[in-house]
Structure 1
């Protein structure tokens, strides 16, 4: 039996807890898996499982070997994909995670263009504000504008995360366009709530001058960015928006920028949107091509 087949059977046995369930998943026989594990144990000179009539569990050596076996199989899969993609057009699945607000702003367009040019690729796109671990074994790449100090993860800056104050023409017709640091409390405000954001004040900059703005009582507060954006477009108040989100609405005249001499600091979200991926995926052609599509979108914007 070849080594990779034996490793595959060992990993499946460890993950499913016994030979019978692992054999069923692999479409093999329990005796074949038993033989594969015995072969590995003989080569290593160590038991990989403690077995009783009622249960089996990994030994300390088994736990160490399991991690190495998983990495070996992953690297072989990535290498095979890379060679295959050199010979043929892109194919397979690309798994992406991003905040929900990125979809209407730019991710919808990028994904559709990518699919049109690479019809053999399937996309799995999860839109989530989960900031715990955006790039784990479940995803090929992630987009985010929050903290990026993640071990073993490559972070490429994609687009600047500048923040500007906006309102709709309907709101300005009703409330007036006179908005300043002296009277902003008199206006209706739409405020995005997030655990990373301060609820009491904002920092804004005018050139080199840095000013602290006390947050007004919001007319509408929400933890859903798209909900607030819909309310903003409907004329319900003022809102600070990142430039990447506001740009198409400003271009179409659906929003107007206010106090353009001031820029709100991005605070905990940081000054850039980043594309992130694990180091072992740096040479995966699907990942590299999709990142090129993202960059091309912003270069053309």
Structure 2
């Protein structure tokens, strides 16, 4: 049995939680994947999975062996990277996960530049707003908003997650009311819905002065931030927005920052953009090089 291939197959089955999806990911047949797992079980003298017609589940032995397999593959990967570094070039694959909004706002451009600068490195970029999926995904690097205190993960701040109020010139032209603290509830709002966010109260700060305000009723409410941003650009209303998502539109005039003297207090997503990676990857050269590259970009855009 090719042990490296067998361990890779095991880890893929665990990550995909499916023999058939793992087979598709690996370019193998489901029967070949099942045969590999059966070979490992025969060699160990223990079952790695409990199987039923509907799902598979790791046994206690399976959890122990899958963790050991991950660590072994990580060590081999780091050795390969070290050899690549001797040749002064990044090789292999870098798997990145991030929220959907990061893709269009800055991650797409950063990845394109990075890939051009490192032609021997493959990038896999997965975008999702499901924290549970992303943080448990096994990626080399996760870009994240909000607290991250899961064991085995290092969370490093790399940029600001500052919240601003913005609207298009078209909205401001058709709306006779000047935007002031005392009439915010009379304006049209585009509100992002997320279970972690307070749906009743938000807070603004100017120096030592703090205003605790009722959250307005949204003209448009959505769990898809891209839809809200498009609606703001189209002139539908005021957007409560992370600065990283609207910085290009503020720069070119398609959006206008409102109440610029006031800072919106960080919400449940926190005050920072975080680079999150497994502790056993802390010395992985390609991870650290990408983080440094991204930090430089955010600094250039005045977002760090």
TM-score range, shorter chain: 0.7 to 0.9
Indicate the residue corresponding to 2:236 in structure 1: 236
1:105-184 correspondence runs (5 A): 105-136=105-136, 138-176=138-176, 178-184=178-184
Distance in 2, matches of 1:199 and 1:87, equals: 53
Alignment of 1:207 onto 2:174: no
2:168/2:255 contact within 8 Å kept? yes
Structure 2 partner of 1:192: 192
Deviations 1:66-102 (A, max 9, x none): 5435423432232233223332521222111111111
CA distance in 1, matches of 2:88, 2:150: 33
Inter-partner Cα distance in structure 2 for 1:111 and 1:49:
41
Match of 1:216 in 2: 216
Aligned residues: 277
Mean CA deviation greater in 69-78 or 153-162: 69-78
Q: Is this contact kept in 1: 2:148–2:155, CA < 8 A?
A: yes
Q: State the alpha-carbon separation in 2 of the partners of residues 162 and 261 from structure 1.
A: 13
> For residues 172 and 199 of structure 1, do their structure 2 counterparts lie closer, same or farther at Cα, with a shift above 3 Å needed?
same
* Equivalent residues of 2:189, 2:237 under 8 A apart: yes
Contact 2:94/2:122, CA 8 A, preserved across alignment: yes
Q: Structure 1: which 5+ residue stretches go unaligned?
A: 42-46, 51-57
Verify the 8 A CA contact 1:48 1:59 in the aligned structure 2: no
Instruction: Give CA deviations for 1:114-169 in whole Å, capped at 9, x if unaligned.
Output: 01111122211111001115344531101111221111111110111111111111
RMSD across aligned positions (CA): 3.2
Return the index of the structure with the highest Cα Rg: 1
Note if 1:74 corresponds to 2:74.
Answer: yes
SS of equivalent residue, structure 2 residue 178: coil
TM-score normalised per structure 1: 0.80
TM-score (norm 2): 0.80
CA contact (8 A) 1:141 1:276 kept: yes
Change in Cα spacing, 1:258 to 1:137, as seen in structure 2 (3 Å) is: closer
Residues 201-255 of structure 1: CA deviation (Å, up to 9, x unaligned): 2111121222211111111111110100000011111111111122111111111
Moved over 4 A (4+): 5-16, 21-28, 47-50, 58-66
